[in-house]
Amino acid sequence: MTILPKPAAAAAGLLVATVCLAPEASAGDGRLVIKVGRIVTNAGPDIENGTIVIEGGRIRSVGKDAESRWDAEVLDHPELVAFPGWVEAHSMRGMDRPNENIEVAPFLDVRDSIDPISFYFEDCLRQGVLAINVQQGPLCAVGAQGRVVKPFGLTIEEMTLRPASGIKISTTRPGRSRALQAQSVRRAFRDLRTHLEKLVQDKKDGRDTARREALFQGRDPDTADNKKGRAMEGSAPWKVKDFEIVPRGHVDEKQEPLLRLVEGKLMAFVSCDGAVAVVQALEIARENGFLANTVLVLDGDAWKAADRIAEAGVPVVLSPQLLYTERDPITGKEIETFVPGVFREKKVRFALQSLNPSSQSLWFQAATCVGYGIPRDEAIAAATKVPADILRLGDRLGTIEKGKDGNILLLSGDPLAVTTNVQYVVLDGNLVYDRSKDRRVMQILEGVEQPNAAPIGTDDAEDVDPHSGEKKTKTPKKD
């Protein structure tokens, strides 16, 4: 017997009405028992007829006969398969606009750009993508700080899994020479160094410009933490001498995120649209000591620099186009390269990106990997465990294990089969999606037009260019 959570609280009901999802979805208390025919734990062998007990939003036990409290609500579906949520390592969707038009903007945060009721997050839920690292597009040399979010919640704070997931850096920009763009990135770090050195000199000279600037920016330079000075940390080959005499609160807020990057406290997601860009990205990361906290976001023929990437030991997020096609200039024949295969051979950790948010999501990419010969567990890991680790959320996401977040997909079949659907989504122990009540699914899949359903395939749809992250023009798609 299936017992669904109690009717929603008013606030949750408002959200649910907005995104047309399970009307019963409740803010809940994060307590749920799930009984299914098969649990794909993604951490060892599958469990037949298993039980997952979630308490306080976390998985308390997983097993054949896990104990649960007598009053716990039970989701009992012997016909379904439990699977941990997919994890999107990098996405330029879900924001009102993905790019800034200033060159260096590490002080910005996608927090201010993410739209919680965007169709994109609704699609993520429908496709079972339960953690998304939202990053800016690649048009800034140094872009905003990204954020890992869940696809459910009315506010950014409710959605947030990890703020400040990393700064977006781009060594290439469409329409601009590589030289100029690389110079912009390098200049950002030179400007940081100059700024820090000036702070030291001003302090030595007894000037308090920086303190007054901090006050002007609305920051309090006199809190205990901000008054403290610390020597520059991290492994950058350049160091600012005597930096410990400068109170940390005096560092300009426009520069401070870059300082955190150089000190190894913030990650960098570096866009590389080709092999040349990879070499530049790795150089710049080494010059400024953030190689250890760098993730490369690849596109185009960047896979050709796989040896350099392996040598640098950095993980990569692959282009959604898994099959790279080029034309041999001499024979005129097309050569196809299956990109994940290259990185697997070089033993580079790689994460997959969705091809689109609506149909060919992470499940499709993982399945494609299996089709091209990647072992099944590795293919699934590339869209669950590996991205979770890359995002430093490996202790919370990626598998169904005791202690992890209570995020469970209930699937109608094998996670990689084309005929499989996400039937229910449990997020932090709360049922947040029920396919049988998803009006938009009925419209897209069955052609049943639903009253008050969100429109499909309209201008509002998240149809973004995979290279720039910019929304595509509204011209009808040519097939």
Task: By CB under 8 A, name the binding residues for other proteins.
Answer: 321-323, 327, 332-338, 341-342, 344-345, 355-356, 358-360, 364, 367-368, 370-374, 376, 416-419, 421, 443-447, 456-458, 461, 476-479
Side-chain-side CA neighbours of residue 331 (13 Å)? 6
Least Å distance, CB 372 to other proteins, is: 6
Least Å distance, CB 367 to other proteins, is: 4
Q: Decide whether 71 or 446 has the Cβ nearer to other proteins.
A: 446
Q: Decide whether 112 or 307 has the Cβ nearer to other proteins.
A: 307
Least Å distance, CB 99 to other proteins, is: 23
Q: Is 17 helix (H, G, I), strand (E, B) or coil?
A: helix
- The partner residues of 245 in beta bridges, in order of sequence, read none
Phi first, then psi: what are they for 311, rounded to 5°?
Answer: -65, -40
- The partner residues of 133 in beta bridges, in order of sequence, read 148
- DSSP tag of 281: H
Q: Decide whether 238 or 372 has the Cβ nearer to other proteins.
A: 372
- Calculate ∠ Cα 462-467-473, nearest 5°: 45
User: Are the C-beta atoms of residues 22 and 437 closer than 8 Å to each other?
Assistant: yes
Q: Decide whether 260 or 440 has the Cβ nearer to other proteins.
A: 440
Helix (H) or strand (E) holding 97: none
Least Å distance, CB 45 to other proteins, is: 14
Q: Decide whether 51 or 365 has the Cβ nearer to other proteins.
A: 365
DSSP per position, 371-418: HTT--HHHHHHTTTHHHHHHTT-TTTSSS--TTSB--EEEESS-TT-T
Q: Decide whether 101 or 419 has the Cβ nearer to other proteins.
A: 419
- DSSP tag of 23: T
Tokens of 204: 């030595």
DSSP per position, 411-478: ESS-TT-TT--EEEEEETTEEEEEGGG-HHHHHHHH----TTPPPSSSTTS--B-TTT-PBPPSSPPP
- DSSP tag of 250: G
Least Å distance, CB 459 to other proteins, is: 11
Q: Decide whether 17 or 456 has the Cβ nearer to other proteins.
A: 456
Residue reference for tokens 């609160």: 249
How many whole angstroms separate alpha carbon 84 and alpha carbon 46? Answer: 12
Least Å distance, CB 453 to other proteins, is: 11
Least Å distance, CB 40 to other proteins, is: 14
Least Å distance, CB 461 to other proteins, is: 6
Tokens of 102: 């200033």
Least Å distance, CB 65 to other proteins, is: 28
Q: 359, 326, 357, 321: which is closest to 340 by C-alpha?
A: 321
CB atoms within 10 A of CB 96: 10
Least Å distance, CB 379 to other proteins, is: 8
Residue reference for tokens 């996608």: 110
Q: Decide whether 7 or 455 has the Cβ nearer to other proteins.
A: 455
Least Å distance, CB 375 to other proteins, is: 9
Q: Decide whether 224 or 418 has the Cβ nearer to other proteins.
A: 418
Q: Is 224 helix (H, G, I), strand (E, B) or coil?
A: helix
Q: Decide whether 34 or 416 has the Cβ nearer to other proteins.
A: 416
Beta-strand (E) ranges in 186-254?
Answer: none
Q: Decide whether 202 or 414 has the Cβ nearer to other proteins.
A: 414
How many whole angstroms separate alpha carbon 335 and alpha carbon 269? Answer: 29
- The partner residues of 272 in beta bridges, in order of sequence, read 298
